[in-house]
Amino acid sequence: MSNSNTEQNLHKVIAHADEDYPVGVYYVEPSKMYMGYVRWHWHEEMEINLIKSGSAEFTIGEEKITLTEGQAIVLNCNVFHAIRSVSGNDCVLISLLFHPYILFKDHTTSLATAYLSPIINGNEHRYVIFDRKDMWGRSAMAYLNDIFDANFSQEFGYELTTKAYLCQLWVHFLKKYNNNTTLYTRTKEANTTYSLDESRIKDAISFIQQHYAESITLEDIAGSIHVSKSECCRCFKRAVSLTPFEYLMRYRILQAADKILQNDRETTSISELATSVGFNNTSYFNKLFKKYFDCTPTEYRKMSKTEHRDKLSPFGLSLTHI
């Protein structure tokens, strides 16, 4: 698969980003989203999640990290991850996503090379956790809260204020990184192992997203990442705890729900809707749809679009709609 296809897919995910202000702030309740969690995804932006209440489990590769109220996690660009509430209990997160070009528009400058590239291009720099237990964490949290406050209030010049706080937060990270190489907890050996799985899974998922409406097989998915069918299944199990077929079915149902919300004129009947997302059996499509949404496609059409649009968002509810 070409890089251009993958990049096009990623840009589809980060539709909230504005070129002049590439920042999004979201209110996230994982248990209320599609299938009860923030599904596996990745994007070109940095992501910072603050746990406002409850506990959240972040799955990053083969690692599972549980954070509690008052803690926060920074996820680097293009890190493959998912988020769940712990033990089925509700939790609330405030998520900040920002594209690195808000800090350095041109990544080729000497400043970007010195202060940006070492972090976003370093495979060992996948995430960092901070809380209020130490002075560094308290300072980082203060910058983060200032960013949230600016975007909540949206007072005059809040975009510039946000950029200023992001620059301060970035310098804060860099100082810690320069002084303590254990800030990011991934080991080089673990990164090397997971990097191969992550690369394969991203390409396989991109293939599924582009061809889900077609009659694709396990052999097709495995061929897209140049591995055997058995290795493809092992890759998916290691990375996302699903088989390729399970991922494909879930993605098809997700796309069907999205078509309903978009009021797609080409899929007015349920059989047309099923066919448009790759199902040749309407009964099986209805069965899976009800399994994942607890209602039939017809019932789903009658429900509030606003309610379900929030569930399908990869990130949560934009603060501008709260």
Domain boundaries, the chain: 3-186, 196-312
Q: Give me the pLDDT at residue 175, please.
A: 84
Integer Cα distance of 301 and 163 in angstroms: 41
Half-sphere exposure of 134 (CA within 13 A, CB side): 5
For the chain, the residue count is 322
**Each residue's pLDDT tens digit, 217-235:** 999 999 999 999 999 999 9
Token couple for 109: 């400058």
Residue ranges in the chain modelled with pLDDT below 70: 1-18, 88, 122-124, 177-195, 304-322
* Segment (H or E) for 92: strand 92-98
Dihedral in degrees, nearest 10, Cα atoms 156, 158, 164, 167: -160
Q: Give me the pLDDT at residue 186, please.
A: 44
Q: How many CB atoms lie within 10 A of CB 287?
A: 11
Type of residue numbered 35: M
Integer Cα distance of 54 and 67 in angstroms: 9
Integer Cα distance of 58 and 76 in angstroms: 13
Cβ–Cβ < 8 Å for 127, 194: no
* Segment (H or E) for 233: helix 229-240
Q: Give me the pLDDT at residue 312, please.
A: 65
From the list 84, 167, 172, the residue with the least C-alpha distance to 128 is 172
**Local structure of residue 215 (DSSP, 8 states):** -
Cβ–Cβ < 8 Å for 127, 64: no
Q: Are strands 55-60 and 81-85 parallel, antiparallel or unpaired?
A: antiparallel
From the list 67, 94, 81, 158, the residue with the least C-alpha distance to 126 is 81
Cβ–Cβ < 8 Å for 51, 72: yes
Cβ–Cβ < 8 Å for 48, 96: yes
Integer Cα distance of 211 and 199 in angstroms: 18
Which residue in the block uniquely carries the two structure tokens 């059409």?
301
CATH 3.30.70.260 fits 3-186, yes or no: no
Cβ–Cβ < 8 Å for 210, 12: no
Half-sphere exposure of 278 (CA within 13 A, CB side): 21
Integer Cα distance of 86 and 58 in angstroms: 10
**Each residue's pLDDT tens digit, 241-292:** 889 999 999 999 999 988 888 887 777 899 999 999 999 999 999 999 999 8
In Å, what is the CA distance from 133 to each residue of 12, 85, 129, 287? Answer: 38, 23, 11, 48
Name the pTM for this structure. Answer: 0.77
- Look up the CATH number of domain 196-312: 1.10.10.60
